[in-house]
Structure 1
Amino acid sequence: MVYQEYPPIPALRPWLDCVWTCRVQTGATPLTHQVLPDNCIDILCQDQHDASFAVGMMTAPIAVVSQGLVQTVAARFKPGAAARFFRLPLCELNDGRAGLQQLWGRDLAARLDDALWSDPLSNMQRIAILQDYLLLRLRAGPPLAPAGVAIHAIAAIEGAQGLVRVEGLARQLGVSRQHLAQQFRQQVGISPKLFARICRFRAASLGVKGLAAQPDWAQVALKYGYFDQSHLIHDFQDFAHSSPEAWLAGRRA
């Protein structure tokens, strides 16, 4: 599997975390790899019939199975940004996928697929095409509104690596906890509490993956703000379906 990320064009940087490509080629045996929740929504366009779709917010890991040759060109939205491009409550996409024909209409989705795959193109050419269509979608929308409470909450949660109390955050933003949760579900997809848990889990999992030595898990829990090691284990079970030790061993294998 060859996976590569690229920075988005300047006009899309407020909306996209990155654009990326992936090429998988297997023999008779399928390739399976695990994808963990990352608080992002992606658009994927693959070189197969009607294989352009959005993947919603994930609250659990998924196993992606590939067989034969599969080429993917994709865009990863920043948290809270995808609502501008899909115009539906993002909670409707949670732990699932929706075809671009459903989200953008049959004509636009078909034109994108044809532009991407009807001719042999380089990765950079296909990335440029996908971003052109995202710009079309962005500019066809209503005038931009000032950032709402959900966007401000995202920045606060990410800045603290998930170590925030939602009630205190809502008070800081001048809204009720219920209003913040409602706005978050519509514009992000999940609750602010779950978003914060995934932020903290990602910080911990990325941190230990970069260690050369076997980590002291009690110290890891302390460093990333867990009440104790059992709470760290609980998050690994929820978001990686594995113990921390087994997950790290699998990444190092």
Structure 2
Amino acid sequence: MGSHEFVRAVPRLDGMVVSAVGYRSAGQRPGLHRGLPSPYLTVIFSLEGPIATGSTPGQATGGDAVRTDIVLGGLHQSPAYVVQPEHEAGIQLAVHPLAARALLGLPAAGLMGELVTSGTDVLGGRAAEVRERLCALDRWPDRFALLADYLRRRVAAADRADPVRPEVAEAWAWLARHRGAGTVGGLSRHVALSERRLTAVFRAETGLSPKQAARLMRFQHARTAVVRSVTAGGGPDLARIAADTGYYDHSHLVRDFRQYTGASPTRWLAEECRNIQAGAHGPGED
């Protein structure tokens, strides 16, 4: 059956890092994992070999796969397929998209060109050095501490970077408060920008329109509810979850599942049941 280890840390970076998870698996059957879209950026430091990813199963397992020791993922709208080898280990961060300027040195929209970007292309050689030091450490607390110190230093060095527009920051906060269920019209009135202007400045910062971001937030809450139901030992009541998380009806939730996971809720749960039971899924993670 193999072994699986997931260790969570409490990020202390003023909300810029939403979650930090260390993972290690050994003796597992090689396969593919679906890295799902979420309202957060994904940063992974592999502690084993390069991580192979693609926009389709064929790309992920073929010669066109993106292979990198440090993965950066933007706010994508479809699943990223990740090869799961027999042995793997790493640290995965869920990063608030409005913290991208401080932590990564570019707005989240700068990661939208590719499904996955090589971390060293964005973060530079220092990130590769940090990864090597992470690999040399034996304890998860020491790894988390090293990575947090590296990120704090990046934030300190970015103090003079161009700030996020206040209208965009407030728009994101408003959508989050409404759990993705608010209307674009209501959001536009709240930040005192026309819908067209709001969409332009929001997309320039995040790579998504406000409507797309709202859908991601709503789906994140629904997926979390599905995972929580499975973890509790029951089957998810999709109709109830759809109503509780702001969907018009059950079919709209299923539609989003198909777009964001590439599968129906039932099929996705069957594929991910082992990871859910092992604790791989939590707030802000794929």
Aligned equivalents of 1:116, 1:213: Cα separation in 2: 38
Residue number in structure 1 paired with 2:65 = none
Are the aligned partners of 2:180 and 2:216 in contact in 1 as well (CA < 8 Å)? Answer: yes
Matches within 5 A, 1:180-195: 180-195=198-213
Aligned residues: 248
Amino acid paired to 2:41: I
Q: CA deviation at 1:141?
A: 1.0
SS at match of 1:237: helix
Residue number in structure 2 paired with 1:8 = 11
For 2:221, which of 185, 195, 203 is the aligned residue?
203
Residue number in structure 1 paired with 2:57 = none
Query: For the aligned residues, what is the CA RMSD?
Result: 2.5
Residue number in structure 2 paired with 1:40 = 40
Residue number in structure 2 paired with 1:19 = 20
Are the aligned partners of 1:209 and 1:251 in contact in 2 as well (CA < 8 Å)? Answer: no
Aligned equivalents of 2:248, 2:32: Cα separation in 1: 34
Residue number in structure 2 paired with 1:101 = 120
The answer for unaligned runs of 5 or more in structure 2 is 51-67, 275-286
SS at match of 1:14: coil
1:213–1:5: structure 2 CA closer, same or farther, 3 Å change rule?
closer
Amino acid paired to 1:112: V
Which stretch of the first structure deviates more once superposed, 237-246 or 215-224?
Answer: 215-224
Are the aligned partners of 1:170 and 1:177 in contact in 2 as well (CA < 8 Å)? Answer: yes
Aligned equivalents of 2:23, 2:207: Cα separation in 1: 25
Report sequence identity in percent: 27
Per the normalisation by structure 1, the TM-score is 0.85
Per the normalisation by structure 2, the TM-score is 0.76
The answer for unaligned runs of 5 or more in structure 1 is none
Aligned equivalents of 2:41, 2:164: Cα separation in 1: 21
Aligned equivalents of 1:114, 1:225: Cα separation in 2: 44
Amino acid paired to 2:257: F
Residue number in structure 1 paired with 2:81 = 63
Are the aligned partners of 1:24 and 1:66 in contact in 2 as well (CA < 8 Å)? Answer: no
SS at match of 1:65: strand
Aligned equivalents of 2:104, 2:78: Cα separation in 1: 22
Residue number in structure 2 paired with 1:157 = 175
